[in-house]
Amino acid sequence: MNKKEGFKSGFVSIIGRPNVGKSTLLNRIVGQKVAIMSDVPQTTRNKIQGVVTSDDSQIVFIDTPGIHKPQTRLNDFMLKSAYSTFNEVDLVLFMVNAAEKRGAGDNFILEKLKNLRTPKFLIINKIDQVKPEELLKIIMDYTSDNEFNEVVPISAIQGNNVDEMMATIKKYMPEGPQFYPDDQVTDHPEYFVVSEFIREKILQLTKEEVPHSVAVVVESMQRNEDDKVHVHATIIVDRASQKGIIIGKGGKMLKEIGVRARRDIEAMLGDKIYLELWVKVQKDWRDKQSYLQDYGYRQKDYD
C-alpha cells in the first residue's frame, strides 16, 4: 500500500431504509455501475464497495443492505451485514428520502446510531422532489432529537450537491495509505459483480412476480475459441412457478434478461461476452444456512 504525504484515505458506510437511493448514490460517486439498482426494495444483499480515488485521497464506500425487520435467515444475514459496518468505518452516512415521511424504519436506524462514536452525516436524498420550505422541516425533524456531524441535502439521481458532499466527506477522512490502484472502482471479484448485474435485470423485468426469492451463481467465466468470455450462470428460485416466470413463454423472458445483463457485463469487462443462463428451483433456499453459503452469503463474515 502506498503512503503519500498528506494523502487521505478511509471507509464510509451508506445506510438507510430500503429504496432510499443508496445504490444510485454509490454508482454516481464512483462514476460507473458497481451496485445494482431496482425499484424493488431490498435489492442490495452484500456490502458492495465502491472506490473513489483522486490525487489527494481514496475513499471506499460500502453500500449496506437496507435495514428492516428480518423475516428469514437471508434477511437476518442482511441485517447483520449492515450493522457490522458501523464500527469498521471512519464515517457513517445515514440516508433518508425527502419525499417520504420519517417512519418506523428511520427511527429504528436512528436508535442504532445513538451511541455510535463514529462520525455520522444525515444525507437527505431526493431533494428534487420537494420544495425548499419542506426541506427545512425535514432537517428539523431529524436533527431536533438526533446529533449529526453534518447535514447534506442531495439528489443522487440528478447529482445536486453530490460534489459538495464528497468534499465534506474528505475533510473527515484520516491521513492514510492508498488501498487500491487508481483505476479500481470496486473490491468485489468479477464473478460477484456479474451475478449482481444478472439479478438486477431479473428484478427489473419481473417486478413483484419474482420477489427476493432469487439468487444468481456464476459457475464459470472462461475465454472461448471465438475470443469471447463465456459466462455460465445459474438463477436460483424457490418455487417452480417462479422458474416459469423467469423463463417466460418460449424462453422470451430469460432471453431478455440475458440481453440486458450482457450489455452491462460487456461494459464492465471491456470484452465481448457469451452469456449462458440456467434456472434452478431450490425450495426454501433463503432459510437454509447451507444454501446461503453456497450462494455467497457467508454468515461467518459478519459475526
Find out whether 18 is annotated in a ligand binding site.
Answer: yes
Bridge partners (DSSP) of residue 153 are 124
**Binding site annotation covers 64?**
yes
66 marked ligand binding residue: yes
Quick one: DSSP state of residue 25?
A: H
- Radius of gyration for the chain, computed over Cα atoms and rounded to the nearest angstrom: 20
* 63 marked as binding residue: yes
- Residues 3-27 as b or e (16 or more Cβ within 10 Å = b): eeeebbbbbbbbbbbbbbbbbbbbb
The alpha helices in the chain, defined as continuous H runs, are: 22-30, 73-84, 104-113, 132-143, 162-171, 190-206, 240-247, 252-269, 289-294
- CA angle (168, 170, 172) in 5-degree steps: 80
Q: Is 17 annotated as belonging to a binding site?
A: yes
Q: Is 8 annotated as a binding residue?
A: no
> Which grid coordinates belong to 178?
492508498
Residue 139, annotated as binding a ligand: no
Q: Is 145 annotated as a binding residue?
A: no
| Residue 128 is labelled as binding a ligand | yes
Q: What is the DSSP-derived secondary structure letter of residue 99?
A: T
- All 3 cell numbers of residue 296? 455467497
Asked if residue 183 belongs to a known ligand binding site, the reply is no
Determine whether the annotation assigns residue 157 to a binding site: no
* Gap between the Cα atoms of 97 and 124, Å rounded: 6
What DSSP line would sit under 232-262, residue for residue? EEEEEESSHHHHHHHH-GGGHHHHHHHHHHH
Q: Does residue 303 have a known ligand-binding role?
A: no
State the binding site for GTP.
Answer: 16-23, 63-67, 125-128
State the binding site.
Answer: 16-23, 63-67, 125-128
